[in-house]
């Protein structure tokens, strides 16, 4: 199969790309960091094909992706995304909010819009979106990040509705706390100590766990659609509802 993985320069996307190449598939891997993509190509060989662009820039995204044969893509993994900040909404940075919307929502929509007509035309294909538990459960400081992942969830559901009668599958994978990626380093803008503290003494999910889920979803026969899959480390669970007293 030919797989397009956005955000293949680190974390989940890199592991997903590695695992698809290891099982004999061809991966088009995207990201902004050309050096990372080139290093992966050196390591993985000709079945890893770098496509370098900023997914927040819709013109650049269209220009880069229309250079490849989109009709040949069997699986799209919409993984590129980020959280910025963990402040309550009234103290959050407006630019951070716009960036999360640009990458997590607009970027994912731009890539999907490019790929989907090709999948429908050939009556086959799988779209795997990387959402988050943050799209299902509110938490302190998740404000726009969580809302962007709620968008991914409902967009996935609505694609399923539109694809009635077509052999194109859509899955939303919703990971909880996952370490060993750059997610928290990005969220805390390079404060690596703060990022490391998130994972202290926690048996967190790994990029391999998420890649395993992606590989499984993609390997199922065409008539099986996993609508959504929420994964958490056993050590993570739901917060109760919170009450402020004396206000
Ligand atoms: N780690 C977690 O706990 C967790 C939990 C639930 C969901 N997720 C979601 O999983 C996905 C991957 O996260 P991760 O943990 O693997 O984080 P990561 O290690 O920071 O990887 C993020 C990837 O997205 C790419 N990306 C970010 N902004 C981009 C842009 N403007 N244009 C192009 N590519 C961009 C990055 O590539 P470049 O920097 O090279 O552009 C990188 O390859 C994200 O959607 C995240 O929201 C993560």
Please give the domain boundaries of the chain with CATH numbers for all domains.
2-231 (3.40.50.720)
Question: Directed axis angle between helix 143-162 and helix 108-122, to 10°?
Answer: 10
17-51: per-residue pLDDT in tens?
999 999 999 999 999 999 999 999 999 999 999 99
What pLDDT, on a 0 to 100 scale, did the predictor assign at position 47?
98
Q: Supply the pLDDT for residue 240.
A: 83
Instruction: Give pLDDT, residue 143.
Output: 98
Residue 15 DSSP class: H
Q: Both tokens of residue 247?
A: 């206000």
Among 148, 183, 190, 211, the mutation site with the greatest number of ligand 1 atoms within 8 A of its Cβ is: 183
145 is catalytic: yes
User: Which pLDDT belongs to residue 167?
Assistant: 98
Specify the pLDDT at position 97.
Answer: 98
Of 145, 199, 204, 238, which residue is the catalytic one? 145
Distance 164 CA to ligand 1 centre (A): 30
Residue 47 DSSP SS3 = coil
Angle subtended at Cα 79 by Cα 75 and Cα 85, rounded to the nearest 5 degrees: 170
Residue 239 has a pLDDT of 84
**pLDDT beneath 70, residues of the chain:** none
| Residue among 55, 82, 134, 137 to mutate when testing ligand 1 (max atoms within 8 A of CB) | 82
List strand residue ranges (DSSP E) for the chain, in order: 2-5, 26-31, 48-52, 75-78, 125-130, 168-175, 228-231
Q: Report strand pairing: 125-130 vs 168-175.
A: parallel
């Amino acid at each position: 199969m030919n797989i397009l993985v956005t955000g293949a320069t680190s974390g989940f996307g890199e592991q997903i790309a590695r695992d698809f190449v290891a099982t004999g598939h061809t991966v088009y891997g995207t990201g902004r960091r050309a050096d990372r993509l080139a290093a992966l190509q050196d390591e993985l060989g000709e079945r890893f094909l770098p496509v370098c662009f900023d997914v927040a820039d819709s013109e650049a995204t269209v220009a880069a992706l229309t250079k490849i044969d989109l009709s040949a893509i069997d699986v799209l993994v919409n993984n590129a995304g980020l959280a910025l900040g963990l402040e309550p909404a009234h103290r959050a940075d407006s630019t951070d909010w716009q960036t999360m919307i640009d990458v997590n929502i607009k970027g994912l929509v731009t890539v999907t819009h490019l790929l989907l007509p090709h999948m429908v035309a050939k009556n086959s294909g799988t779209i795997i979106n990387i959402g988050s538990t943050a799209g299902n459960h509110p938490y302190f400081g998740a404000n726009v990040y969580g809302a962007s992942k709620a968008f991914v969830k409902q967009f996935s559901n609505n694609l399923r509705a539109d694809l009635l009668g077509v052999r194109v599958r859509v899955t939303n994978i919703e990971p909880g706390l996952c370490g060993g990626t750059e997610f928290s380093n990005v969220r805390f803008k390079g404060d690596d100590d703060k990022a490391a503290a998130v994972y202290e003494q926690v048996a967190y999910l790994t990029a391999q766990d998420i890649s395993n889920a992606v590989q499984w979803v993609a390997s199922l026969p065409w008539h099986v659609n996993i609508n959504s899959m929420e994964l958490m480390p056993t050590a993570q669970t739901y917060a109760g509802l919170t009450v402020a007293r004396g206000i």
